[in-house]
Amino acid sequence: DAGVIQSPRHEVTEMGQEVTLRCKPISGHNSLFWYRQTMMRGLELLIYFNNNVPIDDSGMPEDRFSAKMPNASFSTLKIQPSEPRDSAVYFCASSLAWTGGTPAFFGQGTRLTVV
Amino acid sequence: QKEVEQNSGPLSVPEGAIASLNCTYSDRGSQSFFWYRQYSGKSPELIMFIYSNGDKEDGRFTAQLNKASQYVSLLIRDSQPSDSATYLCAVSGNSGGSNYKLTFGKGTLLTVNP
């Protein structure tokens, strides 16, 4: 199994630009999570999907952030316009039949720097 | 706000010793508990999960859960320098309907000294 695949691994962009992060979950997993990690705040859940449907997006910081999951094998997290405070590592994770009890497995992350 | 608290450390232990990592959580309805290890610059990696009160052992790792005290711990026996990492406690619980949130603590940095 290839695991959760994220792209790009690193992204440097200028303030005001649009940024799109991509994630391919583990095949067969039906739940997908987007997390953001910073030194100050740790790992924060931004949004998660079950069967391609957003279940909880209460962690999305503001309207500049949006996430989609058009099919079971692909999700995107978009920031438009980006700001320096969005600089962080963004992780995607997936889980099989998430009802709170099954583990979530993480991708390698995207390190985003907004200058 | 449902919280998961961990001592940020660093926790420093000599090689071969037992490392004890602790975590408390605020939501009494929490159902499942996970320990992840994260090396610097890497992604979190699942080590163990536990659902019931008591101990669960896997090799050198033992997870302990006490729901009455809202406390979960991870013991690492015969600690090795390769165990040096940040250990993240994660807790899941039902936030309503089919909404199960997985909330992470900020992690404890463990250093194992040769």
Position A54 confidence tier, pLDDT thresholds 50, 70, 90: very high
- HSE-up of residue A2 (Cα within 13 Å, Cβ side): 10
Quickly count helices (H) and strands (E) in chain A: 0, 11
Q: Which of B73, B67, B40 is nearest to B53 (CA)?
A: B67
Which candidate in A36, A43, A99 is best for mutational testing of the B interface (most B CBs within 10 A)?
A43
Position B8 confidence tier, pLDDT thresholds 50, 70, 90: confident
Q: What does the pLDDT average to over A67-85?
A: 97
Question: CB within 8 A of A115, min separation 6: which ones?
Answer: A12, A13, A14, A15, A84
Residue B97 has pLDDT above 90, yes or no: no
pLDDT tens-digit map of B44-92: 999 999 999 999 999 999 999 999 999 999 999 999 999 999 999 999 8
Verify whether the Cβ–Cβ distance B44 to A91 is below 8 Å: yes
Q: Which amino acid is at A88?
A: A
A11-45 b/e with 16+ CB inside 10 Å = b?
bebeeeeebebbbbbbeebebbbbbbbeeeebbeb
What pLDDT, on the 0 to 100 scale, is given for residue B43?
Answer: 97
What pLDDT, on the 0 to 100 scale, is given for residue B91?
Answer: 93
- Residues of chain A found within 8 Å of residue B109, distances taken between Cβ atoms: none
Q: Which residues of A lie inside 8 Å of B (Cβ-Cβ)?
A: 33, 35, 41-43, 45, 50, 55-56, 91, 98-101, 103-109
Question: CB within 8 A of B59, min separation 6: which ones?
Answer: none
Verify whether the Cβ–Cβ distance B44 to A43 is below 8 Å: yes
Cβ distance B112 to B9 under 8 Å?
no
